[in-house]
Amino acid sequence: MTTDLPDSLAETWQPLGTRTGETSVLVASITAETTLYGPTEPEIRADRGESAIPPRSLFAVDLDVSPSLSSIGISPDSVLSKAAPEAKSQFVETIEGEGLAVENTRETHEFEAQNGTAGIWYVLEASYPIDSGDGTPRIATEAHVAVWPTETSYGVAGGTVPLETPDAAGGSNEDGLAVDPERDRETIATLVRTVDLGT
């Protein structure tokens, strides 16, 4: 099931596919269905990249927790400190499987989600492969992962932000990748503030 984008993003972003992964936290089994979105006008041709994830991307995760946390007497906010790192690790595994490299977590901070709960937001330092072949040039990239408690589970959303053009890394920017980190960070923040997850 593809998560619908908020109206403010639906015209300029499109779903690119869904990936499913499973993990466990405490006594619960978690199935995470991650929907990836890219700009409706791609900025790097598919034959020039090594990743199915575009340099600018968004993602939203639909979580199914079994048994439900409430049925075992656990509220989602009470175990956020254990669930959030698991969600981040799953996201890292997903994007690294698509050719991105995650170096470290640059920032971790709390934020207030739309539903009024306190969530955890990670900013990861990463790099993105922009040409095929040996000695692949990479561009500096940020990856954002926001995790917050919902009534029965967790909301998870975020995206990737290119920080430099391919020619800055010894490649070619013939496709015209537009680098605007502030715009892209605000787009991710809009997604996190408005996407309907876990309701």
Q: What's the rounded Cα separation, in Å, for the pair 160 and 142?
A: 6
pLDDT at residue 189 in the model? 96
- 138-142 average pLDDT score: 92
Give the DSSP per-residue string, 95-130.
Answer: HHTTT-EEEEEEEEEEEE-TTS-EEEEEEEEEEEE-
Q: What's the rounded Cα separation, in Å, for the pair 78 and 81?
A: 8
pLDDT interval class at 146 (50, 70, 90) = very high
E-strand stretches of 130-179? 138-149, 154-162
Most confident of the following: 23-27, 47-51, 83-87: 83-87
- 85-98 average pLDDT score: 88
Helices (H), 67-169: 80-96
Give yes or no for residue 176 having a pLDDT over 70.
no
- Computed over every residue of the chain, the mean pLDDT equals 84
pLDDT interval class at 103 (50, 70, 90) = very high
